[in-house]
Structure 1
Amino acid sequence: MARHDAGGRALPPLPGAGRGLGKFVFVAGRAPDGRRGRALRLFPFAFGKRSGLRARLGGAAPEPGSRCPAGGRREAGGGRGQAGGRRGARGSRTAQRWDFSAREESGAGARPGRGSADSGAAGAGGGGGGEAAGTQEAGESRSRPASMGRLAPRPLLLALLGLALCRGRVVRVPSGSLVRVVGTELVIPCNVSDYDGPSEQNFDWSFSSSGSSFVELASTWEAGFPAQPYRERLQRGEILLRRTANDGVELHIKNVQPSDQGHYKCSTPSTDATVQGNYEDIVQVKVLADALQVGAVAPPEPGLSLRLGEPFELRCSASTASPLHTHLALLWELQRGTARRSVLALTHEGRFRPGPGYEQRYRVGDVRLDTVGADGYRLSVARALAADQGSYRCVVSEWIGEQGSWQEIQEKAVDVATVLIQPTVLRVAVARNVSVAEGKGLDLTCNITTDRADDIRPEVTWYFSRTPDGAWPGAPVLARLDRDSLVHSSPHVALSHVDARSYHLLVRDVSKENSGYYFCHVALWAPGHNRSWHKVAEARSAPASVDVTWLEPDYQVYLNASKVPEFSDDLTELECRIVDMKSLQASVRFTVSWYYRVNRRSDDLVASELLAVMNGDWTLKYGDRSKQRAQDGDFIFSKERTDTFSFRIQRTTEEDRGSYYCAVSAWTKQRNDSWVKSKDVFSKPVNIFWASEDSVLVVKARQPKPFFAAGNTFEMTCKVSSKNIKSPRYSVLITAEKPVGDLSSPNETKYIISLDQDSVVKLENWTDASRVDGVVLEKVQEDEFRYRMYQTQVSDAGLYRCVVTAWSPVRGSLWREAATSLSNPIEIDFQTAGPIFNASVHSDTPSVIRGDLIKLFCIIAVEGGALDPDDMAFDVSWFAVHSFGLDKAPVLLSSLDRKGIVTTAERDRKSELSLERVSVLEFLLRVHGSEDQDFGNYYCSVTPWVRSPTGSWQKEAEIYSKPIFVTVKMDVLNAFKYPLLIGVGLSTVIGLLSCLIGYCSSHWCCKKEVQETRRERRRLMSMEMD
């Protein structure tokens, strides 16, 4: 019969038609709600016992419930449909046409059921008419053109069959059969994969002793699922389910009995959208009788006592009478406390496997496992070690091979023996205290005592150390005798074997450096397997103290302070001398070390600091405290004579106060021309100290003439006294402070004149050019100074002081500042009844336009007694602060002195300044061509000069006016006048130029010539001719 697809198109016949192979229809599986399933559905028809599909694929067709080649399961419904097809084969064979349609599912998540009636009928028809249909289709295929060919190639058909058979839910239990022994525990895992629905799946377990009918055993879903015979075992905990994951569970049966032998089925309720795959799997369990016998060859003894290196053997027996073919595996275990350790094992596959730590001993044959007779197993240890002590037991397990895999069906263990390892007794003794003269030979004997009488070989090593504890094995090795009786030593050291238990060490020509502690270390070696050796014991002797005596130099050390400082920065000199020298040899030299220790009032111990040390090769090394100062030349270490060493501090500071002592070392020349320190002798300390009282400097100022008038000479003397200052010299500075009533600068201090410690006079801030020689400072005595100021003026009023600094001499011509003091003030106050001057600033134009003239008047007002204008003169200065406030420093603009000389400061602006005197008491400042930067606060300062009755001019105190704020505005009209005129002019010129260019171009360049029609000129005919 011809096949058609969903669109009605004819399809070629399947391969194998007419050879007993029914037809297949592949349709997309659908859920009851109409959604498309995940895989193709396979509907088989007319499968015989030896179908054409079996022949074409080269193997048997899958049975219901069997595994797919890819590890999956075939759809459960397919299996039942196939069964229906077989039932249909027994029916009528008359029908020649069939209706191939997809089965309807009972619903998503339902268990697969049997096929419907229609499908069964179809299966019956297919079974009966397989050959007829095949013949008909074959005929139709022969009638088609050859180009149509077959339906699909064989690989595509196999892929479609695999996809249809292997997609869907897969439930798995262990493959093959499980074998267990009576009394052991049975564990059967079951898991599911490739499923839809929730991640956590439920499992049902059933049991069948024959494999035909199953009885409910346990369930993770329904509490009432188990059958009545198993509910009691579930309640007692003998049967339980343990979930290992959302898709896995384990069935545990404790104390397995012969009645538990049979088939166990694991099934999962469906949660899939379409019924596909397999939902159950079955495993067979076989229960064997306990036929394994394990025991020790001899009853366990209380303990097997051995010595290190001795061999021992342990035995156990193991046999089985199982009806099946089983293998035995044996393991020897060592238990020490609660820890168990694997020694050596024989696996069920016949392989030897040493435990951790026994690999090397197994490879060299030190640990072996042998069989003895039919059921005996022997553990042999060639040499016992300390780690071999403990309880040994024999663990035997029984294995069986099922379908290429091994199963351990039971395990038994038996305690064999307890091994006790006794250490080897070894004692080593050397003479404790030995004294030998320098240059003689040192002979030491090492005596060995042991309880071993077998073939052992000792290894003797001699060590040397400066301390009795001996940092062994890091101490130097003098000589060694190995177990092969080979000696390893230096040329001046010999090691000999006197008898079986005595070994002599000989050191020739000893010196002082051979004094110390000697040790004898002995190790006992015993022969082992395969010509190997192992150490059974080792011990070290107590230290033997060796003192090399010699005639050391006898001398004393004396420290003397030849120069002691009285003040800071003084010179300190110490001499370290060697006295009472006895028993000196030509091969002895002396060096010195200098130490410093801080003086403390308490009893606390203070560590000494090394200042410098001289080695045996005359090299000098500085300590941390003296390194920098020695490089600067402040510390000097020298050797004056053979027996005298000196230490000099050029400038002693307060930090240098303390105790100093020296140590003289004697060095002896050795055989290799090296020098070794043999003796140290320390001197008594010398204390360097002076009273560290604070420096005191007192300055008193006095005035010989308590009252004077303007124009007279002012005189002030300063008397200096000091304490705790070494050889002081004084420098003097005269300062003047304006009286408090002067509010212009109340805190101003002016330096007038100074005199340094070398009596050099210097004018400081004295700026009165007319009185350059008007101040004098001189030194009257070492501690007294006099200051004079001639022709005093009213402006000189104020407080005068002497600032004195004391200087102490340092190295050479250097001076150090010791103290500074300030004298009491001496006041100059003129009691006059003269006029009072005030200054003010006025301007008629405080706000101007840029470019206009700014006029500022400084007006002086005189109050009090009237003065002749010729007896008054003024120094006037103008200042400006170019800001809205007075937060910036004032700028000097111009000044006019009392002689009429005008001085104008340099400016970086275009505006000009002029200053003139317009009247006796008025001064005018003009700013020509004002700019924006000329705004701000302006004020003037006035210094009056008044002629005294004697005809001299007296300078009055400087006065200041209040500031006036000047604003400079911008003239908008003038600012835009010239740009507008320039723009109009340029526009006019450009327009006229454009017209001229246009006219010229149109008149000469772009003119067109017009061609006129030429007229004929004919002469008039005469009348006669007419």
Structure 2
Amino acid sequence: MLSCASLFWGVCQGRLVSVPAGPLTRVKGQSVSISCTVTDYEGPREQDFDWLALADPEPVQVISTFDSSFSDASFRQRVASGDISIERLADNKVELTIKAAAVTDNGVYRCRTPSTDKSVTGNYEADVQLRVIPDSLVVTSDIPWPVVTEGGSVDLYCNASWDSIAGTQLSFTWSVKKGSSLLEELLTFGPEGTVSVLGSSAQRYANGGFRLDLHHRGSCGLVLTGVLPTDQGMYVCTVGEWTREVGGAWYRLQEKSVDLGQVAVTPTDTDFSAVASALVTPQLSGDPTELECRVTNVSHLLDRRLGASWLYSPSLATTVTVASLDAAGVLVPGPQHRGRLEASLITLTRDDPHAFKLRLCQTSEADAGSYACVITAWSPARQGVNLEHPTINVVARRVREARSSGATFEMSCQVVAKNLRDAGFSVAVLIQTEIGGPSRRIISLSPSSVLRLEDWSEPGRQDSVTLARSGPAEFRFRLQGVQVSDRGFYTCEVAAWTKQPGEEDWTKAVSGESNKVQISFEHTGPSFDVSLSSGTIGLYPWETAKVACLMSVSGTPPNAGKYDIVYEMRWYITRLRGSDHPTLLASMDRWGVVRKTPRNDSSDCSLERTGPRSYILNIHSVQDSDTGEYHCIATPWIRSPASGTWSKAPDVTSTRVFINVKFAFWDSMKMPLLYGVCASVAMGIFSLLLGLICTQCCFRNAAYKPRVNNKLMELDMD
């Protein structure tokens, strides 16, 4: 029954037109190919196809396999020049090709098949979205040291910059060309932090001969250690830009190469030749004999020293050592000639650094035979302890991608440590809004597995961010319910810690930073705007100033409900015009809680909400210190209709309004005048009273007696 039902459904489904799942991201100037296939159709084996570009008010005809005049006037010239073409890959499959895509080619393309069926069933068209991004990839190089000694290291750094807002990632491939041979790939890093090594380089990478340097700012480096003469050649770095297609597969958009330079390796093996000659030949028994061994064509001697040994062969089957002179100039006699050497009958001298002489003072018939010299190069013995410095490499990769607001983002941080024993790791996750901008620490995990939230103070979202250890040297970072404000570049900062025997405290050994993993998605929700207004911009002291912030929404909100969008409001004052250092006055969070900054002057402020999108800041009893530019910043919060979770939208900043507190002359003078008059009157009254008291008390004559009032005597009595 199930088989019959499935067969019946397949027959009833009818014609099926399919195109690649979109959106398809391509780079400007690159070739674009979009295939279209039709199945389960009736009629002729060979089917015709039409391609259209969706536009308002109706689709625009691009190209067709049936009608050569099908193209619209806007595409006709490009079709005629071959920039846009259609190629039949099979009877039921074609491919639309744009040789050099332009940004104007962005849009939705429709593949349509005319009906050849007896009955109209199934679908006859399919749509795919094409997104063409600008070519922003720029690749430069740091020229390595051109000559390297054998056994040394070569640093191959490749710098790349690109507009990562489109959500693309980079890969770095290092190659070498030796002589006339083809380019040989050494190692590829990326996309998403993967490392691939091909051919003979795999064993060398496993042995540490290739090391990735991810700590160099703005670049990715490959360090070749223990170089050999076979490593010399022309090194090339190739940077590829990748995008993730629907289904998780990576697609390479473009790649650019840059020559890192020619590297020559100087061998360390000493090379030389030795020539023996007779300076003095004996004629009779008892005559002296002098032989010289000269070293020629010496190369790569470096810090090595030469030594010589003289060999004597009385017959072809026998060879004995006469004497040797080591690198320090110490004479080592042979066992058969020790007595003659100690008696100075045989001498071994060194006249110059490259010449060794053997002299027989009295030659006898017993000395007849063949003489040969052997030259030895001695290198100094290095003693001591060779400490290997600890190193760590951190690779971050995306585990779960956040494609929309409210989704979950997950990132893994893998630590590769060398020359470390019994180490503990601490990890911190940092976010960078843009390349080159400041970094902010989100969360950290100590070597003792203590979790701590760093610069993450958003209320209600403390439980949405987690960091845990998923392996001995692997950590997993998860961010649930991502918001537009969470878009940016995330990195892992890892430090290795060790404990000394008998100690409890951790000691930091080495640290490293991973590559960047980006959260990037298009914001499809509504867009917001805020406007600022003030009833009066010129006020007198002790009056009230009102600053209103009005929100506006464009686009389609998630729902038409009343509580689908709420706002956080913050008001700032900039006391100097044009300054970039505003001061926070007051704020209101999305729950309606008001917070005010402490003030030192006599004025005060209050907040009120007069409507769903209207907020007013009141400044009571304004003073001179309240003069300045005012603006507000709004943070919209949108509730998802599906999950009911709130997501944070980007901040919106209003324009600035200047409020001036005027200078009131009479208000500023009346109090000083009143105080002055009152003080003058009080001082006058006080002076009068003081003078009166002084005249009555201090200048009064106590011996004065009034004259008796007698009648006048007559003159006669006088």
Q: With structure 1 as the length reference, what TM-score do the two structures score?
A: 0.29
Larger Rg: 1
Higher relative contact order structure (alpha carbons within 8 Å, sequence separation ≥ 6) = 2
Q: With structure 2 as the length reference, what TM-score do the two structures score?
A: 0.41
